[in-house]
Amino acid sequence: MRGFLRDNYFERNDSTPKIILIYLALIVMTLIAIYPILNILAAALRPDNQMFSTSLAIIPKDASWANFKAAFTQIQLMRWVYNSAFISLLTTVVTLFFATTAGYAFSRYRFLGRSGGMIVLLVTQMFPATMILLPLNILLTNLDLSDKLWALVIPYVSTVVPFSIWLLKGYFDTIPVSIEESAYVDGCSTFRTFYTIVLPLSKPALAVASIFAFMGAWSEYIVVRVLIHNESLYTLPLGLVTLQGQYNTQWGVYSAAALITVIPVMVIFVILSRYLVSGLTLGSVKG
């Protein structure tokens, strides 16, 4: 099907210059997107005496792995990775639990305040997270939750869940109700139908919601900067900032650590990327 669409596209646009321009534009946009990563890689491989070199070489002269070694030995990188991974995974799990159940309820059931609830969820996304920093800090301090790593789940989930509910509710709407009705006829309970039929069919939406929740917690800085003061609880964004001194910044170590922190995110994206294809429900019900 993809080849058919591609052939039709080029038949309608058989002008060679147009095709060349399209590919050139794609190449330029790709280079613009990956240039910062290549620049960070070059900085991570440079010795300290060449850190501010104007060379455009990706692999600099006298390239060294010293900065990567220093990232593991001179700073608490693995502690920061652990803290970020813990809070990101916990945020993802809690978000998926609330988003799937709430999204399914909004999709399948009719109740008072259903439409208003969806609007409220949408409105909450219109306000920046910085607006809730002061009341959030006061609330968590009064609850004796300040400087507790797991307490970060509260603000993270509260900001991610509304979008995830909207996303999953929309995807649940595309799943034919007749599939669930067939399961009910076969004796499945509502919970079993939801867990064994609806959720497996919703893998693309679950993958998107998971990536969104994980990335939101993994890269968040402002909230953790306000709520966490114990250095042993620093997450990656907050820990990397400590490498910036008042008079000197360890740019080589900073760049190496930044590249290392990208690896978990890339792994998760690769694992979930095969689910980022919609239309799994097509053909589920025989007409």
Q: What is the pLDDT of residues 51-76, one digit of tens each?
A: 776 666 677 777 788 888 888 888 89
Same domain, 174 and 42: no
Range of the domain at 77: 69-283
Residues 224 and 172 in one domain: yes
| 189 in any annotated domain | yes
Last-in-domain residue among 15, 32, 63: 63
Are 14 and 99 in a shared domain?
Answer: no
The predicted pLDDT at position 100 comes to 95
For the chain, percent of residues with pLDDT exceeding 90: 23
Residue where a domain terminates, one of 32, 63, 94: 63
Please, which residues bridge with residue 244 across strands?
A: 249
> Which CATH number does the domain housing residue 143 bear?
1.10.3720.10
Q: Is 240 a residue whose pLDDT tops 70? A: yes
Looking at the domain assignment, is residue 216 inside a domain?
yes
Question: What pLDDT score was predicted for residue 277?
Answer: 57
Domain boundary (63, 92, 113) is at: 63
- Assess if residue 51 is contained within a domain: no
130 vs 145: CA distance, rounded Å: 19
Mean pLDDT of 264-271: 83
Residues 171 and 253 in one domain: yes
| pLDDT score recorded for residue 244 | 78
Whether pLDDT at 205 is above 60? yes
Side chain identity at residue 67, one-letter code: N
137 within domain boundaries: yes
pTM over 0.85: no
Residue 145 lies in a domain: yes
pLDDT in tens, 79-116: 999 999 999 999 999 999 999 999 999 998 888 888 88
Is residue 228 situated within a structural domain?
yes
Environment class of residue 29 by beta-carbon count within 10 Å: exposed (0-12), middle (13-18) or buried (19+)? exposed
- Residues 23 and 76 reside in one and the same domain: no
The count of domains in the chain is 2
More confident residue, 161 or 115: 161
Q: Quote the mean pLDDT of the chain.
A: 83
> What's the CA gap between 196 and 186, in Å, rounded?
13
Read off the tokens for 165. 């509910």
Neighbours of 181 (CB within 10 A): 12
Quick one: 251 and 110 in the same domain? yes
71 contacts 251 by C-beta, under 8 angstroms: no
DSSP secondary-structure letter at 149? G
Decide if 250 is inside a domain: yes
**Domain identity same for 104 and 15:** no
Distance of CA 136 to the CA centre of its chain: 23
Confidence of residue 12 (pLDDT cuts 50, 70, 90): low
Angle between helices 114-124 and 77-108 (to 10 degrees): 150
Domain co-membership, 106 together with 220 = yes
Do residues 90 and 25 both lie within one domain? no
Is residue 14 located within the same domain as residue 90?
A: no
| H or E element at residue 70 | helix 66-73
Q: Can you tell me the mean pLDDT for 3-20? A: 63
Assigned domain for 155 exists: yes
List phi, psi (to 5°) of 249. -125, 130
Asked whether residue 100 falls in the same domain as residue 220, the answer is yes
The pair of structure tokens assigned to 6 is 């591609």
Distances (CA, A) of 233 to 81, 92, 146, 149, 264: 10, 19, 11, 6, 19
Q: In this structure, are 31 and 110 located in the same domain?
A: no
